[in-house]
Structure 1
Amino acid sequence: MKGLYCKPGDQGDVKFLLRETDVPNNIGNHEVKVQVKSCALSPVDFKLFEELKLGKEHISVGREIAGVVLQVGPKVTFFQPEDEVVGILPLDAELSGLCSVVIIDEYNLVQKPEKVSWFEAAAVMKDGLRAYTALHTLARMAAGQTLLVLDGASPFGVLAIQLAHFHGVKVLATALSAEDQKMLEELRPSVGVQESLLARVIKVWDSKESLVDTCLEETGGLGVDIIIDSGVRLFEEEPETQLHLPHKHDLITLLAVGGHWVTTEQNLQLDPPDSHILFMKAVSLSFLNDEVWTASRAKQGRYLHILKDVVEKLSVGTFRPQLEDPVPLYEATVSMEMVQKKQARKRIVLKL
């Protein structure tokens, strides 16, 4: 049985490879053996593995899975054989999600609705969890607020837009290219009035359009209530690869009083003047790390509730992920390299 693994190099280079692996014959009291039907690919955060002291010679890749229960442990209460399930493998999982069979704790799985495809079920888990964490757990969104999603055409951005619109939030989003702009402008709800999900698509690829001016214009000069970034520029002189990112001062400027800034920038640096402006606006700053749910067991019940709600919203059409065509197993290494380099604009899912 083959699985996808990565081997970090000495100079920071990463090698992805398919390796033969064996499934243990015995399963624990609360473990479930699952036959994997599909597996989604997400970038591997090697820095997080190092900080949690999970560094191994080969790190398993592909953690969002959907499949059928083959066997359950003696104390498993949530599932029975032949149940259709979906979930996320923990960070320290020994088996890759691309193995045909995996063993996983029952508390990392939820039931898959019958009318949801294997393909979509695996694809929505990671981005759906991130969207819920950003908007519900961190930003405490409420109807009538205004949200700015940076890089709205990314797999995560699309689900964040759909979730916010469902809850009555006015959504603005940035597009990094003309193709992204077209895709965002065509987003429509699955039911009801077929109006756009977005109040405005901001063309950051067009130098004539200002992010700050556009957001202030859309909000009558009051600013946006919630910002979800996809990284920020900390200094004026940054590498060319980061020129599409907004500067931190721009985001601080366009935040409303009492607003929430949810950042994915792990190394965010705020100078005293920046902090003073945030203080004067009574703004809250949160760091989006969706891995905290599986790295800590403190709120396992809330984590499972989120996963259940994610697949429920997928089943009723609230969530409609942007997907590439199914990829066969023999293309796993090439596909994962694209995902790790952030060259894939849609979620890539492998069909087993």
Structure 2
Amino acid sequence: MKGLYCKLNNDSEDVKFVIHQTNPPQSIGDHQVKVQVKACALSPVDTKASSDLKLQKDLIPVGREITGIVLQVGPKVSFFQPEDEVVGVLPLDSETSGLCDVVFIHEHNLVQKPEKLSWFEAAGAIRDGLKVYTALHTLARMAMGHTLLVLDGASPFGVMAIQLAHYHGVKVLATALSPEDQKFLEQLRPSVARVIGVWDVKVDLVDSCLEETGGLGVDIVIDAGVRLYEEEPPSRHQLPHKHDIITVLGVGGHWVTSENNLQLDPPDSHTLFLKAASLSFLNEEVWGASCVRQGRYLHIMKDVMEKLCTGTLRPLLEDPVPLYEATVSMEMVQKKQVRKRVVIKL
């Protein structure tokens, strides 16, 4: 059984993607489900997360967001039966690539896929949907009337955050990293109240946010990474500085960050204290890395599927990619050379 795997070189940042032959398990576990994969979405491989959790291997399976048909269930499986259509996320310690024809996965990592939802759309939305729910509901406690700032709003995650926030009656401000992004985000009105084109050196993020909120600041900020220092590599120049984010936060605001190396100096902490603001770290792998709140994890995935059916959430996807182009596509995803979510059609 062939699948796509990430091969680490001496430098953990230097990776190569290879097609590798593996042998499927001879028997199915008590709570496992055997799934014939129909579509698999590609996301960058986080080698640091694997290392931190002591899951580092010579070959790391690639492609974890899958949709497919149940072929067989273990003797103690209660949620599924053969012929069910399912969607889910393979765990970090999975031995199998999601691009294999067949995968074995624990039933608690799957939910039913609605019949009218395509394999392609379900696979492409499950990861970003899970991440958006975690950021806005679990961490930020979003509520009607709040003001949200989404940084890099034209990304697949950013678009879904805008859609979910607008659905709940939240005023959304979004940043655009390029003129193309700005044009795209302008088309999302009225979901987006204001697009802030940070690609233009004349536009100031702090002034724009304070102007839009009458000087009060925003209730929630979701970043896509931040600059910790004034001088950083050119690839990070368009990221906002941490001081800018702290400045635009209103009293009682929530900052949700995906910057895992965030460092705050005492003056930064004091400013957050004066505003009674909170800081949360957005780790999208936390649900699969811990067995705590498993029911909430499944509830979120089910709700994402329901909102896809009703059109509340609409993922930002590339056209379906055939399996023979998976290696090239994954290299582009890893290098962040594609803006939309890539889904492989099996």
Q: TM-score range by the shorter chain?
A: over 0.9
Query: Are 1:215 and 2:209 matched, yes or no?
Result: yes
- Alpha-carbon distance in structure 1 between the residues aligned to 2:342 and 2:186: 22
Q: Distance in 1 between matches of 2:119 and 2:220?
A: 33
| TM-score between the two structures when normalised by the length of structure 1 | 0.97
Displacement, 1:20?
1.4
The answer for the alignment partner of 2:341 in structure 1 is 347
The alpha-carbon deviation at position 135 of structure 1 amounts to 0.2
The equivalent of 1:9 in structure 2 is: 9
Equivalent positions of 1:45-124 (< 5 A) are 45-124=46-125
2:245 maps to which of 251, 255, 269: 251
Three-state SS of the structure 2 residue aligned to 1:4 is strand
Using the TM superposition, give the Cα deviation of residue 158 of structure 1 relative to its aligned residue in structure 2, in angstroms: 0.6
Q: Distance in 2 between matches of 1:239 and 1:32?
A: 45
Q: Separation in 2 of the partners of 1:157 and 1:279?
A: 28
Equivalent position of 2:30 in the other structure: 29
2:257 to 263, 270, 279: 263
Question: Cα deviation per residue 1:244-294 (whole Å; 9 max; x = unaligned)?
Answer: 000001001110000000000000010000000000000000000010100
Q: Is the partner of 1:157 in helix, strand or coil?
A: helix
88-97 or 332-341, larger mean C-alpha shift: 332-341
**1:260-339 alignment runs, 5 A limit:** 260-339=254-333
Partners of 1:304 and 1:183 lie apart in 2 by 32
Deviations 1:110-129 (A, max 9, x none): 00001100000000011000
Give the stretch that moved more between structures: 212-221 or 12-21. 12-21
Per-residue displacement from partner, 1:316-350 (whole Å, max 9, x unpaired)?
10110111011111111111111111111000000
Structure-2 separation of matches of 1:184 and 1:23:
44
2:157 pairs with 1:156: yes
Q: CA RMSD in A?
A: 0.7
Misfit runs of 4+, over 4 Å: none
Counterpart in 2 of 1:38? 39
Give the Å deviation of 1:63: 0.2
| Counterpart AA for 2:168 | H
My pick for the range that moved more, 20-29 or 206-215, is: 20-29
| Equivalent residue, structure 2, for 1:192 | none
TM-score norm. by structure 2 comes to: 0.99
Mapped pair 1:198 → 2:176? no
Q: C-alpha separation between the residues in 1 aligned to 2:2 and 2:345? A: 14
Structure 1 alignment gaps of length 5 or more:
188-194
Match status 1:147 vs 2:141: no
Residue 22 of structure 1 deviates from its aligned partner by: 2.1
Measure, in 2, the Cα distance between the counterparts of 1:112 and 1:143: 29
Letter in 2 for 1:136: H
Q: What is the aligned-residue identity percentage?
A: 74
**Which secondary structure state, in structure 1, belongs to the residue aligned with residue 166 of structure 2?**
helix
Cα deviations across residues 61-105 of structure 1 (Å, max 9, x unaligned)? Answer: 100000000000011110010000000000000110000100000
What displacement does 1:2 show? 1.4
Quick one: distance in 2 between partners of 1:101 and 1:196?
Answer: 43
Q: Secondary structure at the match of 2:313?
A: coil
Number of residue pairs matched by the alignment: 345
Distance 1:151 1:2 in 2: 36
In structure 2, the residue corresponding to 1:301 is in which secondary structure?
Answer: helix
What's 2:184 paired with?
A: 183
What is the alpha-carbon distance in structure 1 between the residues aligned to residue 259 and residue 52 of structure 2? 16
1:18 aligns to what? 19
Q: Distance in 2 between matches of 1:212 and 1:113?
A: 42
2:233 match: 239
2:230 pairs with 1:229: no
Tell me the residue number matched to 1:130.
Answer: 131
Opposite residue 277 of structure 2, the aligned amino acid is V
Secondary structure in structure 2 of the residue aligned to 1:273: helix
For structure 2, the 5+ residue unaligned runs are none
State the shift of 1:25 in Å: 2.4
Quick one: which amino acid aligns to residue 300 of structure 1? Q
Q: Using the alignment, how far apart are the partners of 1:232 and 1:196 within structure 2?
A: 27
